[in-house]
């Protein structure tokens, strides 16, 4: 099994690499008799290996066989340690060479920061992938105890799994699990960013370190919204300063609270995937990052096919690299058109774990319902983590109150008697 990651090229001494290659080839052919004769024959069958042997003036194969008798190990564990040692030193040599190349690039005055960051990321990622090993492959049964322990450890006191939502009714359908991606879809200016803000504050209130990647709002505008939501003061009054003394105290209390929170807000409309991955990896180490909000999935391309590829690729990256590889919970959003559809949604839906449609109720809907049922609704149309609402039944959704003035979203009285999918 350990030959899966130990490669002939990892050996510093080329003759050792040639011998190891020959042993691998004999093993692949089902030849159990690893002796000087068979090794010599298999080497002679490959001109490139034969030339390497001649170049480095290798001793006779029999000399190596005799030497092996003297230095033979007595357990598989010892051979595993040797294989790991050879691989480790090979990685160090390659890394040292790579760092030398990067150092040379750093002295190139024509290379800007963005290009340098992308170059470093790609080269380091390529090197890491080269040394990715399958030595930890185990029978599934061997992992069952560890997996069960992980399942149990993710449960919280309330009996839910993962990071709970602000909204108890949503927790009946899903929670924000590490490794999973939740995407909220909504029409233009209907509150998808406010929904993300409410979930962000809830995570902070529960001590969850959070990163907000913002492609729309600069720090000042996001801070205004955050203060408004936390304080409950109308954002217009925060902007113009026309608030009462009591509201001023609430604002100061909100500001003091925000200062203490494990929150990073990054406004970057042109953020590359490589930079985002690096930021998340750094923050996971630095502040124990658990929750990532990406506001929001979009493409400036006019071509439908280009949109399809860009949005799908971004969703793939958030699900598999940010959520999956870094084991983070990710919440994002995308915009619906006037027909209530997202461009090329099939590719987005392919990667997300939970798909949500958020909407402000129409005048017709409001006229047919009671005020206590709220002015907004949410429908879970894709759910790979639990129950899913029937997509073809427009009357099944969760009712909410949406207050854009204070950036607040609250659960309302439900228009259906079945308030959860389990009742």
Residue 196 Cα to chain centre, angstroms: 17
From the number of C-beta atoms within 10 Å of its C-beta (0-12, 13-18, 19+), residue 142 rates as exposed
Both 230 and 169 in one domain: the answer is: yes
* The last residue of a domain, from among 107, 130, 153: 130
- pLDDT score of 78 more than 80: no
Q: Could you tell me if residue 142 is inside a domain? A: no
* The last residue of a domain, from among 84, 109, 130: 130
Q: Could you tell me if residue 213 is inside a domain? A: yes
- Residue 183: band (very low, low, confident or very high) from pLDDT cuts 50, 70, 90: very high
Both 104 and 166 in one domain: the answer is: no
- pLDDT score of 147 more than 80: no
What is the model's pTM? Answer: 0.69
pLDDT digits (tens, 9 = 90+) for 314-345: 999 999 999 999 999 999 998 876 655 655 55
Instruction: Round to whole Å and give the CA distance between 350 and 308.
Output: 12
Average pLDDT, the chain: 84
Both 296 and 376 in one domain: the answer is: yes
In angstroms, the Cα distances linking 193 to 82, 359, 361, 396, 402 are: 54, 12, 17, 23, 12
- pLDDT score of 347 more than 60: yes
Q: Could you tell me if residue 151 is inside a domain? A: no
Both 123 and 167 in one domain: the answer is: no
pLDDT digits (tens, 9 = 90+) for 264-276: 999 998 888 988 9
Both 87 and 179 in one domain: the answer is: no
Instruction: Round to whole Å and give the CA distance between 155 and 162.
Output: 7
Both 98 and 243 in one domain: the answer is: no
Going by the DSSP 8-state scheme, the letter that residue 216 receives in this structure is S
Q: Could you tell me if residue 177 is inside a domain? A: yes
Q: Residue 342: which of 136, 187, 174 has the closest Cα?
A: 187
* The last residue of a domain, from among 130, 152, 180: 130
Q: Per mean pLDDT, which range of 112-116, 163-167, 409-413 is the poorest?
A: 112-116
Instruction: Round to whole Å and give the CA distance between 153 and 160.
Output: 11
pLDDT digits (tens, 9 = 90+) for 158-171: 666 789 999 999 99
Q: Could you tell me if residue 354 is inside a domain? A: yes
Contact 307, 343 (CB under 8 A): yes
Both 90 and 190 in one domain: the answer is: no
Q: Could you tell me if residue 76 is inside a domain? A: yes
pLDDT at 137: 56
State which residues form the domain around 105: 2-130
Whether the CA torsion 395, 397, 402, 404 is positive or negative: it is negative
Both 344 and 282 in one domain: the answer is: yes
In angstroms, the Cα distances linking 228 to 135, 294, 385 are: 52, 21, 33
- pLDDT score of 2 more than 80: no
Both 126 and 187 in one domain: the answer is: no
List phi, psi (to 5°) of 299.
Answer: -145, 140
Q: What is the CATH number of the domain that holds 379?
A: 3.40.50.300
pLDDT digits (tens, 9 = 90+) for 203-251: 999 999 999 999 989 999 999 999 999 999 999 999 999 999 999 999 9
Both 89 and 201 in one domain: the answer is: no
Q: Could you tell me if residue 374 is inside a domain? A: yes
pLDDT at 71: 59
pLDDT at 114: 81
Total domains present in the chain: 2
Both 123 and 169 in one domain: the answer is: no
Q: Could you tell me if residue 419 is inside a domain? A: no
∠ Cα 291 198 194 (to 5°): 110
Both 122 and 167 in one domain: the answer is: no
Instruction: Round to whole Å and give the CA distance between 36 and 39.
Output: 5
pLDDT digits (tens, 9 = 90+) for 384-401: 998 889 888 888 999 999
- Residue 82: band (very low, low, confident or very high) from pLDDT cuts 50, 70, 90: confident
- pLDDT score of 181 more than 50: yes
Beta bridge partners of residue 212, listed in sequence order: 265, 293
pLDDT at 305: 55
């Amino acid at each position: 099994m350990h030959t899966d990651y130990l490669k002939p090229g990892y050996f510093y001494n080329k003759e050792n690499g040639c011998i190891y290659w020959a042993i691998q080839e004999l093993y692949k052919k089902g030849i159990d008799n690893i002796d000087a004769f068979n090794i010599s024959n298999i080497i002679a069958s490959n001109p490139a290996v034969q030339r390497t042997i001649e170049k480095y003036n290798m001793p006779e194969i029999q000399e190596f066989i005799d030497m092996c008798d003297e230095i033979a190990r007595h357990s598989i564990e010892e051979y595993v340690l040797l294989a790991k040692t050879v691989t480790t030193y090979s990685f160090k040599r390659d890394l040292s060479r790579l760092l030398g190349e990067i150092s040379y690039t750093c002295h190139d005055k024509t290379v800007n920061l963005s290009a340098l960051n992308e170059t470093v990321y790609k080269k380091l990622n390529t090197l890491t992938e080269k040394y990715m090993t399958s030595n930890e492959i185990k029978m599934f049964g061997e992992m069952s105890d560890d997996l069960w322990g992980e399942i149990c450890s993710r449960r919280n006191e309330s009996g839910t799994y993962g990071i709970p939502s602000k909204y108890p009714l949503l927790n009946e359908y899903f929670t924000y699990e590490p490794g999973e991606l939740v995407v909220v879809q909504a029409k233009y200016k209907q509150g998808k960013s406010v929904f993300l803000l409410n979930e962000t504050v809830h995570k902070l209130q529960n001590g969850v370190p959070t990163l907000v990647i913002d492609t729309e709002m600069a720090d000042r505008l996001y801070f205004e919204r955050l203060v408004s939501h936390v304080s409950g003061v109308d954002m217009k009054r925060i902007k113009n300063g026309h608030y009462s003394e009591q509201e001023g105290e609430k604002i100061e209390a909100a500001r003091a609270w925000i200062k203490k929170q494990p929150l990073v807000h990054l406004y970057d409309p042109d953020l590359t995937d490589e930079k985002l991955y690096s930021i998340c990896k750094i923050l996971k180490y630095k502040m124990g990052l658990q929750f990532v909000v990406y506001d929001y999935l979009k493409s400036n391309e006019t071509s439908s096919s280009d949109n399809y590829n860009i949005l799908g690729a971004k969703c793939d990256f958030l699900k598999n690299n940010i959520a999956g590889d870094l084991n983070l919970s990710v919440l994002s959003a995308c915009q619906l058109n006037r027909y209530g559809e997202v461009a090329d949604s099939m590719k987005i839906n392919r990667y997300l774990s939970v798909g949500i449609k958020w909407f402000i109720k129409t005048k017709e809907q409001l006229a047919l319902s009671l005020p206590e049922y709220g002015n907004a609704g949410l429908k879970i149309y894709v759910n790979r983590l639990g129950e899913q609402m029937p997509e073809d039944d427009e009357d099944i959704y969760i009712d909410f109150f949406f207050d854009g003035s204070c950036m607040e979203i609250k659960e309302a009285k439900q228009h259906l008697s079945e308030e959860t999918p389990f009742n």
